[in-house]
Amino acid sequence: MKTFEKEKSIRHILNEPGQSAYKKYKVLVAGDVGFINFFTAELIFFFLSSLGGALGIFLRKIIYPRLFKKCGSGIIIGRNCIFRHPSKLQIGDNVTIDDLCLIDARGTGQKGIVLQDNAIINRSTTIQSKSGDIEIGKSAAIGANSSLVSWDGIKIGDGVSIAAGCYISAGDYDTSDLSTPVIEQEAITKGPIIIEDNVWIATRVTILDGVQIGRDSIIYAGSVVTENIPERSIVHGNPAKVIFTRR
């Protein structure tokens, strides 16, 4: 079981004494960047984020890649998307990010958040790293209103299809000390969440801390996955159980 320091939490940053509102905001949305780079990014997002139509898509395609660590060709970014710590974001070719998405790479490591070629992030999806890198494989699709929250990393393989309203969260709290509020206790994790290639995850599935799902598996709608799933499994229930093996 891995423990994370409280200093990594947004709550701690916001409550830190002696720091100006500007410094807190900069730490949360941009990180350790110079004032010129920070101010430039703020201007770009202010003028282009909500710009609609083909003009908005075209200008974001041309200008946003300058803010990212790496960006391929053919990117499509919808309206009112929020990118925190964009310098930690790597995007491949022909990636689509729909309207109202939040991609927050604040807690990532060396890789950051990686969206590989032809990945699709649908409307109102949150991809957030409190700690650990997040990688979404080639031609993977994340459904609308889904949330991916990482404490020790999330890796989604090639060709994975995740339906709308799914919740994938690698992390927990140490609740052993009853004298301390849960929100103040240390964050812990069993390890990264790994979803191997060609997995289909149906609507409103929850995948919890440290789980690995084997390739070619299917997770039925509404399931809560708390343990590793072998490859080629069909899974259902809360907690999710293997009900059939694909041949």
DSSP result, 96-125: EE-TT-EEE-TT--SS-EEE-TT-EE-TT-
Position 172 confidence tier, pLDDT thresholds 50, 70, 90:
confident
Q: How far apart are CA 200 and CA 95, in angstroms?
A: 19
Greater pLDDT, 5 or 158: 158
pLDDT of 1 above 70: no
Q: What is the pLDDT of residue 6?
A: 43
Greater pLDDT, 110 or 88: 88
Helix (H, G, I), strand (E, B) or coil at 5: coil
pLDDT of 71 above 70: yes
Closest CA to 1 of 193, 212, 190: 190
pLDDT of 167 above 80: yes
| Whole-number Cα distances in Å, 147 to 42, 47, 49, 208, 226 | 25, 27, 21, 12, 17
pLDDT of 133 above 70: yes
Q: Cis bond leading into 239, ω under 30°?
A: yes
Closest CA to 29 of 75, 113, 86: 86
**Domain 2-245 part of CATH 2.160.10.10:** yes
End-to-end CA distance of the chain: 35
